[in-house]
Amino acid sequence: MGHSQRLQKIQAILKRRKIDAFLVSEPRNRFLLSGYLGQDHGIEESAGHLLIPKKGSPQLLTDFRFKIQAQQECRGCEVQLYSKGLIPLLKQLLPRSGAASLAFESHYTLHSTAIAYEKLASELNLSLVPLTGVVEKQRLTKSDEEIDSLKASVRLNEKVFQAVLPTIQPGETELAIALRIETTMREMGAQQPSFDTIVATGKNSALPHAVPSDTVIEANRPLMIDMGLVLDGYCSDMTRTFVPGEADDDYLKIHRLVRKAQLAAMEAIRPGISAASVDKVARRIISDAGYGEYFGHALGHGVGLAVHEGPSLSSRNRKYLREGMVVTVEPGIYLPDWGGVRLENMVLVTRDGSLNLNHDTSFLDL
């Protein structure tokens, strides 16, 4: 499904909801509907907004700095530049288009910006409609092309892991390894890491979101590597935990338990099962072994244009999985004074079950 088909779906929703124009600000949503890859510098410094009318071609509103890139990349939309900010340009464009209502992305618009929209709407006598997750809902299930892109991203991520793995030596710091991983990603063709690479040794691996430090890799202690990259806009995400040197019985016990939970959850995934039920399958195995309180995060999350997107595999998500969804399955056990084990693969929900997108099996079955 290309940009224009996605756009038609959104325009059908606008028509149904009697919305004349929809301002799309979330960068991946903007890309999905236009092909424009401009990089925002955080939410405060947008590389542009896509103004979608209920009928006809969208306009990409951006500033001078992004003019040439926007003209090169936007497919089927006109580029309009603002020099004094977005609001004055909207004040020109909206009356011209005859719009009587304007929707915006409530979940990707700052409160202060929404106040400026309210003022504008009142001046132009527009009704203002906050929407949440309308484009994200289109992103929950992936098209065949998107699945191919995700597979390629996973494959490259595994290649990077395999290239770096044999170079890791006890005595190196977490930071040095993380840097080598991210450099290798870029050298092998990734746009960028999809998140800050985690390399955590010993006790540091008890922090699920550890930041690589000057800590030296210890032999015979857990080493957790959580890494992902962006390739052609699509993300990958994989975690391996292992022991450089010799794993003791304590480690093997925890590792095998996490792996058992992961396999059971992957086995459970199919269209029609709720996300919460999949989480429960893994969580019960870990709880029954007495480690429930040490598995403090959700089982997984969707991956696509964003490395964290819907659906969440959490105990709070009662929604059903559907064919074409891609999720991580990443149970973990984190013991504060000892360390942690997390194992993470990416899984596609298929017509009648699931497909593990990872081919790398390093350290999974110890």
Q: Given the rule CB under 8 A, which residues bind a second copy?
A: 37-39, 41-45, 47, 63-69, 83-84, 104, 106-115, 130, 132, 175, 179, 183, 186-187, 192, 195-196, 206-211, 296-297, 308, 316, 336
Minimum distance from CB of 68 to a second copy (Å)? Answer: 5
**Closest residue by Cα to residue 104 from 24, 16, 44:** 24
Minimum distance from CB of 112 to a second copy (Å)? Answer: 4
Minimum distance from CB of 174 to a second copy (Å)? Answer: 12
Between 62 and 354, CB nearer to a second copy: 62
Contacts of residue 293, Cβ cutoff 8 Å, sequence gap at least 6: none
Between 83 and 98, CB nearer to a second copy: 83
Between 49 and 147, CB nearer to a second copy: 49
Minimum distance from CB of 121 to a second copy (Å)? Answer: 13
Minimum distance from CB of 114 to a second copy (Å)? Answer: 4
Minimum distance from CB of 19 to a second copy (Å)? Answer: 16
Q: What angle do CA 227, 256, 197 make, to 5 degrees?
A: 10
Minimum distance from CB of 140 to a second copy (Å)? Answer: 16
Tokens of 129: 């409609």
In DSSP terms, 190 is beta-bridged to none
Contact at 8 Å (CB) between 200 and 210?
yes
- Cα dist from 100 to 50, 62, 90, 92, 139, whole Å: 18, 23, 13, 14, 28
Minimum distance from CB of 207 to a second copy (Å)? Answer: 5
Tokens of 29: 């949503």
Minimum distance from CB of 5 to a second copy (Å)? Answer: 26
Minimum distance from CB of 45 to a second copy (Å)? Answer: 6
Q: What angle do CA 200, 301, 265 make, to 5 degrees?
A: 90
Contact at 8 Å (CB) between 175 and 217?
no
* 56: phi then psi, degrees, rounded to nearest 5: 90, -170
**Closest residue by Cα to residue 342 from 310, 297, 308, 279:** 297
Location of structure tokens 């009662």: 318
**Closest residue by Cα to residue 44 from 93, 113, 94:** 113
Report how far residue 328's alpha carbon sits from residue 266's, in angstroms, rounded to the nearest whole number.
9
Contact at 8 Å (CB) between 274 and 318?
yes
**Closest residue by Cα to residue 121 from 23, 195, 241:** 23
Report how far residue 53's alpha carbon sits from residue 102's, in angstroms, rounded to the nearest whole number.
9
* 286: phi then psi, degrees, rounded to nearest 5: -70, -40
CB atoms within 10 A of CB 208: 18
Contact at 8 Å (CB) between 331 and 261?
yes
